[in-house]
């Protein structure tokens, strides 16, 4: 790998991580329930962060997107089904503009495949990514924005 590209990637990643942490550390919540939900999600995210993606996986050795959302929201006593095709029907569909922390966000990544993550506020969601493992991404990233399908409120 070109060293300049590697340094630029690390710099961009550090900047992105700082913005993500800023979203989690925000004190601007008027709703104590939302602040509590965010705190629980953040604690669980830190336990899973960096775990590799494994289709069908449900452990620290590897996890897929629907198992990750099930584990994270399970910490909030939300009992989700195992697959994305079941999770998409497990709550009330909401508009993207109505997203609250803890909502599920769904993406159509191919004609046959869905992806799911958990919204964490400030336009960001956490998920088990095929390329990066458990990570955070932005809804307005062109890749995710172009593939956004729907959101579901389960809390």
State the catalytic residue, choosing from 6, 89, 93, 127: 127
Residues of the chain with pLDDT under 70: 1-30
pTM for this predicted structure: 0.82
Q: What pairs with residue 29 in β-bridges?
A: none
Q: Is 93 a catalytic residue?
A: no
pLDDT value of residue 113: 96
Domain regions of the chain by residue span:
28-153
Q: Is 127 a catalytic residue?
A: yes
> What digits encode the pLDDT tens for the residues 52-94?
999 999 999 999 999 999 999 999 999 999 999 999 999 999 9
Indicate left, alpha or beta for 7 from its phi (over 0: left) and psi (-120 to 50: alpha): alpha
Question: What's the Cα-to-Cα distance from 23 to each of 7, 16, 32, 33, rounded to whole Å?
Answer: 24, 11, 16, 16
The class (CATH top level) of 28-153 is: alpha beta
Rg (C-alpha) for the chain, rounded Å, is 15
Query: Shortest CA distance to 105 belongs to which of 94, 113, 17?
Result: 94
pLDDT value of residue 17: 45
């Amino acid at each position: 790998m070109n060293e300049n590209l590697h340094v630029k990637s690390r710099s961009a990643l550090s900047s992105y991580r700082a913005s993500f942490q800023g979203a989690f550390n925000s004190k601007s919540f008027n709703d104590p329930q939302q602040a509590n939900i965010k705190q629980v999600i953040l604690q669980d995210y830190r336990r899973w962060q960096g775990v590799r993606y494994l289709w069908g996986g449900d452990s620290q050795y590897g996890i897929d997107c629907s198992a990750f959302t099930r584990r994270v929201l399970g910490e909030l006593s939300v009992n989700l089904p195992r697959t994305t095709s079941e999770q998409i029907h497990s709550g009330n569909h909401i508009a993207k503009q109505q997203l609250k922390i803890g909502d599920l966000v769904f993406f159509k990544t191919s004609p046959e495949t869905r992806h799911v993550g958990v919204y964490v506020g400030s336009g960001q969601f956490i998920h088990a990514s095929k390329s990066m493992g458990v990570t955070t991404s932005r809804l307005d990233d062109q890749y995710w924005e172009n593939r956004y399908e729907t959101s579901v409120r389960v809390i």
